[in-house]
């Protein structure tokens, strides 16, 4: 056992402990330190995982899908390494392994479930080749960082070509994912929803990939679920939605979600149609890897969404739901989920433009905020670094809003003067700070 | 008064919040009691430019631009007559590049519309940043975001603005965009118009004057627009 590896593990654990003590996350810093002290630490620890390594990629739903998959395998009695906090670049992934290692610098795990930022796959694959890659979807996201969605697809194709044994679990309803699977020739299985779901009303939201990636002709759709997800085929070259291996049927959306896959009826106490895909992806991955998943429904019942994915808080008498919304597809789905709640509600939208958010906020104009008009919205407050842009976006949808660039004061304002039912939609870097504020207020005021 | 906006190829060129430019044009007409409508022309549609007062050509990925340039050949003549007849055009990002003679990428040459004497060549790396301009078209600084791999040479044409912060046409000349007759070509999205209401009003005014003669636009309450604009200017120029 190399002394530097042990030192890397110890230092990372200590760094993370100190950060947590100071109320900061510190996971990526811990990973960075470990890699600096002992560069092969990730490669070596990943190699010590006894069973399979799953990675979860895709624009939206990575954290939820990966955490569900991890919980599903844990419910089968497996010991899992997982980056639950959603730190998904090289440092965050390294941290997941380092922090899971023992004081002897070794890892004791049956499997690993790791979410990986698409662009970071280039740095992860040289460290380990995953057995499975779940690809949730490919939407437009943070265009200033990735350039264009085509670039993301090229990156994924590159890493998959370098690892031909990695099996893909893809969303067959996404033409871009299906095309990628076709291009890279890795073994693949699909999940999807083969029937129109009544609760998903069609909107004129912007769709990526409406044209056949293969020949450029316009794809025709039998139906859409949301964004570009649906049942598509190319009238020119015959490219079409692949056969679906894990098909969700009888989908019900509302206060809770339910659907059947195979002979299993799956029920979850979440809102948001998009969560059907997240649950289905985790289920498909687990089943494809050979786990019976007999405890899947019980796991869902016990699963408490964390990290601001529909996470609940209560301050004084106000019920608060915090949710991450970082790109048009995610935001539109969040709006749909909020609007399934028929009660009056206050909203706070927090928009930052830090590097991890994408410094370009023009995507706000691709979100269908118009759906927030109507009498079930009591008020909308805009906050965060780019609250003025957000306010302007709403103004041009004829929706008035309150501007308060201090998040804590915005929350407090709604707790005192709101209708008791508050939703917070925040983008990436706003999430951690908002969550800390909510936890603090919850502890001191309730 | 009526104003008709033609949105060219929203099915192909719709990156980076182009919808915000349309929403801004529409609302700022409607708030003044000017009837406004937008017609989206998809790539198979034919276009009657005589119906249009403002043409919006948005941005797309290189791949999508390649698809568009095929369609553009069919409308080139009519589009050119519209431009020469002082038709108002806002062309953003990919749309800006398509105004010119060509866009040379490492994968090949995309033929442009050749409506304005300019050309674009792909450079090393993308120019991605917030950007601020001093434009002859308005008193306020123009604030936006740029994200382009192409470097555009506008020859002897007037630029849309002088770069106060950011890269601009090529990262070297110190200028951004182009003004030709009533055409504005620019790399600025963000989108361009909501935070720069004076540019939006300039386009509306030019379009209405072309149809109805001299016009004075009723001032609007632009405090929120100015607030968002000034915040970025202060933050970047300090």
CATH code of residue A241: 3.40.1190.10
Region of poorest pLDDT, from A65-74, A159-168, A326-335, B12-21? B12-21
Rounded mean pLDDT of A251-267? 92
Residue A159 inside a domain? The answer is yes
Instruction: Look at residue A420 in the predicted model and tell me its pLDDT.
Output: 96
Note if B29 is an active site residue.
no
- CB contacts, 8 Å: A389 with chain B: 195, 228
Residues A209 and A254 in one domain: yes
The answer to whether residue A141 scores a pLDDT higher than 80 is no
Is A27 part of any domain? no
- CATH number for B227: 3.40.50.880
Residue A446 confidence (pLDDT) above 70? no
pLDDT (average), residues A357-381: 89
- Check whether residue A416 and residue A338 sit in a common domain: yes
Domain presence at residue A243: yes
Which SS3 state, helix, strand or coil, does residue B213 take? coil
Contacts of A113 (CB under 8 A, 6+ apart): A54, A56, A66, A67, A69, A70, A73, A80, A81, A82
Domain stop point among A249, A272, A302: A302
- Catalytic annotation, pick one of B24, B93, B148, B200: B93
Alpha-carbon distances, residue A381 vs A42, A235, A400, A402, A410 (angstroms): 43, 46, 9, 5, 7
In a domain, residue A291? The reply is: yes
| Residue B62 to residue A362, Cβ atoms within 8 A | no
Higher-scoring residue by pLDDT: B12, A160:
A160
Percent of residues, chain A, with pLDDT higher than 90: 73
Mean pLDDT across the stretch A92-101? 96
Residues A119 and A231 in one domain: yes
pLDDT digits (tens, 9 = 90+) for A186-229: 999 999 999 988 655 555 565 666 788 888 888 999 988 988 89
Cβ neighbours of B12 in A, within 8 Å: 211
If asked whether residues A156 and A245 sit together in one domain, one would say yes
pLDDT of residue A271: 83
On chain A, the residues whose CB falls within 8 A of the CB of B43 are 218
Residues A225 and A292 in one domain: yes
Give B69's pLDDT tier (boundaries 50, 70, 90): confident
Residue A427 and residue A431: Cα distance in Å, rounded? 6
Same domain, A259 and A365: no
Would you call B195 and A392 a contact, using CB atoms and an 8 Å cutoff?
yes
The better pLDDT of the pair B233, B45 is held by: B233
Q: What is the 3-state secondary structure (H, E, C) of chain A?
A: CCHHHHHHHHHHHHHHHHHHHCCCCCHHHHHHHHHHHCCCHHHHHHHCCCCCEEEEECCCCHHHHHHHHHHHHHHCCCCEEECCCCCCCHHHHHHHHHHHCCCCCCCCCCEEEEECCHHHHHHHCCCCCCCEEEECCCCCCCHHHHCCHHHHHHHHHHHHHCCCCCEEEEECCCHHHHHHHHHHCCCEEEEEECCCCCCCCCCCCCCCCCECCCCCCECEEEEEEECCEEEEECCCCCCECCCCCEEEEEEECCCCEEEEECCEEEEECCCCCHHHHHHHHHHHHHHHCCCCCCCHHHHHHHCCCCCCEEEEEEECCEEEEEEECCCHHHHHHHHHHHHCCCCCEEEEEECCCCHHHCCCCHHHHHCCHHHHCCCCEEEEEEECCCHHHHHHHHHCCCCCCEECCCHHHHHHHHHHHCCCEEEEEECHHHHHHHHHHHHHHHHHHC
Instruction: For residue A404, tell me if it sits in a domain.
Output: yes
Q: What is the number of structural domains in chain A? A: 2
Is position A29 within any domain?
A: no
> What is the span of the domain harbouring residue B43?
2-237
- Work out the average pLDDT over A418-428: 96
- Does A269 share its domain with A343? no
- Tally of structural domains, chain B: 1
- For position A199, what pLDDT does the model report? 54
Tell me whether residues B147 and A360 touch, CB distance under 8 A: yes
User: pLDDT tier at B73 (50, 70, 90 boundaries)?
Assistant: confident
CA distance A80 to A52: 10
Section B174-181 average pLDDT: 98
Domain-located, residue A127: yes
Q: Tell whether A209 and A194 lie within a shared domain.
A: yes
Least Cα separation, residue A351 to chain B (angstroms): 13
Which pLDDT score is estimated for A198? 67
Q: Once rounded to an integer, what is the mean pLDDT over residues A297-309?
A: 85
Chain B residues within 8 A of A362 when measuring between CB atoms: 16-17, 20, 145, 189-191
Min distance A308 CA to chain B CA atoms (Å): 26
Q: N- to C-terminal Cα distance for chain A?
A: 50
Domain match, A363 and A266 both = no
Cβ of A362 and B20 within 8 Å? yes
Across the interface, whether the CB atoms of B17 and A365 are under 8 A apart is answered yes
Q: Tell me whether residue A262 is in a domain.
A: yes
Domain containing residue A375: CATH number: 3.90.190.20
Instruction: Find which of B9, B11, B17, B58 to mutate to test the A interface (most A CBs within 10 Å of its CB).
Output: B17
Residues of B with CB under 8 A from a CB of A: 11-12, 14-20, 23-24, 27, 43, 61-64, 67, 126, 128-130, 145, 147, 149, 189-191, 194-195, 224-225, 227-228, 231
Chain B residue numbers touching A139 (CB-CB < 8 A) = none
For residues A141 and A268, membership in a common domain is answered with: yes
Q: CB B191 to CB A362 under 8 A?
A: yes
Least reliable range by pLDDT among A1-5, A340-344, B30-34, B195-199:
A1-5
Contacts of B126 in chain A (CB under 8 A): 147
Nearest CA in chain B to A387: B228
- For the residues A132-138, what does the mean pLDDT come to? 97
Quote the minimal CA–CA distance from A148 to chain B in Å: 7
Answer yes or no: is pLDDT of A62 > 90.
yes
| Sequence-ordered list of residues with C-beta below 8 angstroms from that of A415, at least 6 positions apart, any chain | A315, A316, A318, A422, A441, A445
Q: Distance (Å) from the C-alpha of residue B187 to the closest C-alpha of chain A?
A: 13
CB within 8 Å: A396 and B194: yes
Task: Say yes or no to pLDDT of B16 above 80.
Answer: no
pLDDT band at A412 (very low <50, low <70, confident <90, very high): very high
Site from B20, B30, B44 to mutate, A interface, most A CB atoms within 10 angstroms: B20
Residues A285 and A315 placed together within one structural domain of the fold: no
Mean pLDDT of A37-44: 97
Q: Which range marks the domain in which residue A196 is found?
A: 50-84+107-302
Query: What's the whole-number mean pLDDT along residues A431-438?
Result: 93
If asked whether residues A287 and A357 sit together in one domain, one would say no
Residue pairs spanning A and B at CB distance below 8 A: 83
With a cut of 70, say whether residue A145 has pLDDT above it: no
CB-based contact A392 B19, cutoff 8 Å: no
From the list B114, B122, B91, the residue with the least C-alpha distance to B13 is B91
Instruction: Evaluate the omega torsion of the peptide bond into residue B191 and state whether it is cis, within 30 degrees of 0.
Output: yes
Which chain B residues contact residue A150 at CB under 8 A? Answer: 61-63
Q: What is the rounded average pLDDT of the residues A95-112?
A: 96
Q: Which residue of A has its CA nearest to B189?
A: A362
Q: What is the pLDDT of residue B11?
A: 77
Q: For residue B64, give the DSSP letter.
A: H
| pLDDT value at residue A20 | 80
């Amino acid at each position: 056992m190399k002394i530097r590896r042990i030192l890397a593990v110890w230092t990372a654990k200590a760094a993370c402990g100190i950060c947590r003590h100071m109320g900061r996350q510190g996971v990526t810093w811990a990973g960075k330190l470990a890699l600096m002290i002992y560069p092969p630490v990730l490669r070596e620890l990943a190699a010590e995982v006894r069973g399979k390594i799953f990675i979860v990629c895709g624009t939206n739903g990575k954290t939820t899908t990966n955490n569900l998959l991890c919980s599903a395998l844990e419910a089968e009695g497996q010991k899992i390494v997982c980056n639950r906090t959603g730190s998904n670049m090289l440092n965050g992934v390294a941290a997941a392994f380092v922090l899971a290692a023992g004081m002897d610098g070794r890892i004791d795990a049956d499997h690993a479930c790791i979410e990986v930022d698409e662009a970071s796959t280039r740095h992860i694959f040289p460290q380990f080749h995953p057995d499975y890659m779940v690809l949730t979807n490919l939407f437009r996201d943070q265009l200033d960082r990735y350039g264009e969605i085509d670039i993301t697809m090229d990156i994924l194709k590159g890493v998959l070509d370098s690892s031909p044994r990695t099996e893909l679990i893809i969303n067959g309803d996404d033409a871009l994912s299906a095309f990628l699977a076709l291009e890279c020739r890795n073994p693949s299985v699909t999940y999807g929803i083969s029937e129109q779901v009544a609760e998903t009303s069609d909107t004129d939201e912007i769709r990526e990939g409406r044209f056949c990636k293969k020949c450029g002709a316009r794809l025709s759709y039998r139906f859409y679920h949301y964004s570009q997800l649906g049942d598509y085929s190319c009238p020119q070259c015959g490219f079409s939605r692949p056969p679906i291996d894990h098909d969700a049927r009888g989908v019900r959306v509302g206060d809770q979600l339910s659907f059947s896959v195979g002979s299993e009826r799956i029920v979850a106490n979440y809102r948001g149609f998009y969560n059907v895909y997240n649950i289905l992806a985790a289920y498909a991955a687990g089943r494809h890897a050979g786990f019976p998943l007999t405890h899947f429904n019980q796991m869902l019942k016990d699963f408490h969404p964390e990290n601001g994915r529909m996470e609940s808080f209560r301050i004084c008498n106000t019920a608060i739901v915090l949710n991450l919304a970082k790109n048009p597809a995610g935001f539109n789905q969040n709006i749909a989920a909020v609007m399934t709640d028929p009660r009056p509600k206050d909203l706070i939208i927090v928009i930052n433009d830090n590097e991890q958010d994408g410094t370009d906020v023009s995507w706000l104009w691709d979100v269908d905020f118009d759906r927030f008009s109507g009498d079930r919205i009591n008020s909308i407050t805009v906050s965060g670094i780019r609250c003025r842009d957000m306010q302007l976006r709403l103004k041009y949808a004829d929706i008035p809003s309150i501007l308060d660039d201090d998040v804590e004061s915005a929350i407090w304002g709604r707790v005192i003067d709101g209708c008791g039912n508050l939703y917070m939609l925040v983008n990436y870097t706003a999430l951690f700070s908002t969550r800390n504020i909510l936890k603090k207020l919850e502890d001191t005021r309730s | 008064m009526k104003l008709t906006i033609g949105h060219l190829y929203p099915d192909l060129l719709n990156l980076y919040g182009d919808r915000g430019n349309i929403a801004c044009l529409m609302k700022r007409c409607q708030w003044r009691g000017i009837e406004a409508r937008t017609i989206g022309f998809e790539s198979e549609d034919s276009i009657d430019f005589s119906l249009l007062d403002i043409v919006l050509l948005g941005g797309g990925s290189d791949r999508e631009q390649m698809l568009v340039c095929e369609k553009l050949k069919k409308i080139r003549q009519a589009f050119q007559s519209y431009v020469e007849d002082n038709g108002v055009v806002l062309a953003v990002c990919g749309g800006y590049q398509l105004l010119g003679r060509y866009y040379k990428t490492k994968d090949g040459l995309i033929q442009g519309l050749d409506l304005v004497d300019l050309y674009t060549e792909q450079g090393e790396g993308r120019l991605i940043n917030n950007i601020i301009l001093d434009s002859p078209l308005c008193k306020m600084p123009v604030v936006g975001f740029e994200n382009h791999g192409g470097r555009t040479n506008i020859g002897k044409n007037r630029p849309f603005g002088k770069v106060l912060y950011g890269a601009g046409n090529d990262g070297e000349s110190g200028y951004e965009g182009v003004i030709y007759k009533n055409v504005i070509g620019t790399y600025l999205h963000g989108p361009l118009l909501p935070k720069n209401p004076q540019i939006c009003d300039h386009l509306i005014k030019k379009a209405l004057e072309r149809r109805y003669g001299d016009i004075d636009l009723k001032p609007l309450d632009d405090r929120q627009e100015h607030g968002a604009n000034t915040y970025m200017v202060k933050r970047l120029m300090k």
